[in-house]
Amino acid sequence: MTFRFYFIIVCIINLYYLISAEEKQIAPLPKHVLPSGRVLPPIGFGTFGWGTHLNGLTSYLSAIDNGYRLIDTCSFYDNKLTIGLAVKQQIAAKLITRKDVFIISKIWNTFHKSQSVVENIREDLKELGFDRIDAGLLHYPTSFQPGINKTPKFENGSYVPMFWEKDKGYLEAYRGLEAAFLLGLIGSIGLSNVNVHQINKILENAYIRPVILEIECHPFYKNEKLINFGKQNNMSVICYAPLRGGSQELKNNPVLKEIASKHNQNVQQVALRWNMQRGTIVIPRSHNKIHQLENIKSQNFVLDENDMDKINNLPDLKKLMNISGLQTHPDYPFGPGYDTEP
Q: Which residue is nearest to ligand NAP (CB)?
A: 46
Task: Determine, following the binding rule CB under 6 A, whether residue 246 of this chain makes contact with ligand NAP.
Answer: yes
- Residues present in the chain in total: 342
* Rounded Cα distance, 289 and 190, in Å: 29
| Contact between 56 and 47 (Cβ < 8 Å) | yes
Q: Which of 42, 136, 141, 284 binds ligand NAP (CB under 6 A)?
A: 284
Output the smallest distance, CB 68 to ligand NAP, in A.
12
| CB nearer ligand NAP, residue 232 or residue 248 | 248
**Dist CA 133 CA 122 (whole Å):** 10
In the complex with ligand NAP, the residue whose CB is nearer, 269 or 277, is: 269
Which one-letter amino acid corresponds to residue 54? L
Q: How far is the CB of 79 from ligand NAP (least distance, A)?
A: 10
Q: Which is nearer to ligand NAP, 175 or 244 (CB)?
A: 244
288 near ligand NAP, judged by CB under 6 A: yes
Reduced to 3 states (helix: H, G, I; strand: E, B; else coil), residue 73 is: coil
Mask 139-168, x = binds ligand NAP (CB under 6 A)?
A: x-----------------------------
Q: How would you class 12 by CB atoms within 10 Å of its CB: exposed for 0-12, middle for 13-18, buried for 19 or more?
A: exposed
Q: Which residues contact 107 (CB under 8 A, 6 or more apart)?
A: 74, 75, 117, 120, 121, 136, 137, 138, 139, 173, 176, 177
Cβ-based nearer residue to ligand NAP, 75 or 268: 268
In the list 171, 286, 299, 331, the residue contacting ligand NAP (rule: CB under 6 A) is 286
Stretch that binds ligand NAP, among 2-10, 112-120, 179-187, 277-285 (CB under 6 A): 277-285
The answer to whether residue 214 forms part of the interface with ligand NAP (CB under 6 A) is yes
One of 283, 296, 303, 326 touching ligand NAP (CB under 6 A): 283
Q: Does 240 bind ligand NAP (CB under 6 A)?
A: yes
Distance CA 96, CA 208 (A): 30
**How far is C-alpha 33 from the geometric centre of its chain's CA atoms?**
15
Strands (E), 204-288: 212-216, 236-240, 281-282
User: How crowded is the C-beta side of 276, counted as CA atoms within 13 Å?
Assistant: 28
Residue 4 or 266 with smaller CB distance to ligand NAP: 266
Cβ proximity of 169 and 331 under 8 Å: yes
> Which residue of 42, 56, 64, 72 would you call a contact of ligand NAP, by CB under 6 A?
72
Q: How many residues bind ligand NAP (CB under 6 A)?
A: 26
Q: Is 124 in the site for ligand NAP (CB under 6 A)?
A: no
Residues that bind ligand NAP (CB under 6 A): 46-48, 72, 139, 192-193, 214, 240-246, 268, 283-288, 291, 294-295, 321
